[in-house]
Structure 1
Amino acid sequence: MELLFVVLGAALVGLGLRYLLPGRDTYGSAVLPAVSAAVAAAVWAGLTWIGWTFDGGWIWWASLVAGGVLAIATALILAPRRRHRDVALFDRLSRP
């Protein structure tokens, strides 16, 4: 049950980051929440396998922060690459 809560929390973190970070017009609206939720679920599962308990606060912080950090990295990598590829495609298509 706690895994569901951490995934939902991470999705909300990713959704919030979508509106705080620049370049949101270059990727889909569900990319950052999906990345954040997937990473948080994987981190949560890995930490429970190594013995961290779900009632400790550190597992929550580690999972949510890892999801948020990778969502930020995704946004900062995707936006410039997409803009660069869009310009290159426009240049290629606009030539006779």
Structure 2
Amino acid sequence: MELLFVALGGAILGIAARYTLPRRAEYGVVVVPAIGTATAAILWVALTWLGMAWDSGWIWLITLVGAAAVSAGAALLIGRTRAASDERLLATLSSGTATA
């Protein structure tokens, strides 16, 4: 049951990262929340395998801060990479050197 709650928390943090960081028009609506959800679930399972108790405050803190950090990093990286790729493609297409 706790895994469900932590996955929901990761999704909410991913949604927050998507709508508070720049260049959100460069990638899909579900990409960053999905990354937040997956990160939270993976961190939670890894920490429980390492012996952390589910009712400890530290496992919650580590998992949710990690999910927020990965979501924010992914949003910034994907947005910047996609914008640079689009600019290169536009320059190539407008120069007339593109081949089919």
* TM-score between the two structures when normalised by the length of structure 2: 0.91
Matches of 2:51 and 2:9, distance apart in 1: 22
Are residue 68 (structure 1) and residue 33 (structure 2) matched? no
Percent identical residues: 44
Larger radius of gyration: 2
Mind listing any 5+ residue stretches in structure 2 that lack a counterpart? none
What is the deviation of 1:21?
Answer: 0.5
- Specify the alignment match of 2:48 in structure 1: 48
* TM-score between the two structures when normalised by the length of structure 1: 0.94
Mind listing any 5+ residue stretches in structure 1 that lack a counterpart? none
| Letter of the 2:75 counterpart | A
Matches of 1:74 and 1:15, distance apart in 2: 12
What is the deviation of 1:17?
Answer: 1.2
| Letter of the 1:25 counterpart | A
What is the deviation of 1:14?
Answer: 0.6
Are residue 86 (structure 1) and residue 86 (structure 2) matched? yes
Matches of 2:71 and 2:16, distance apart in 1: 10
Matches of 2:58 and 2:13, distance apart in 1: 17
The superposition leaves residues 14-64 of structure 1 with CA deviations (integer Å, 9 ceiling, x where unpaired) of: 101111111101111111111111111111001100111111111111111
- Any idea what SS the aligned residue of 1:28 has? coil
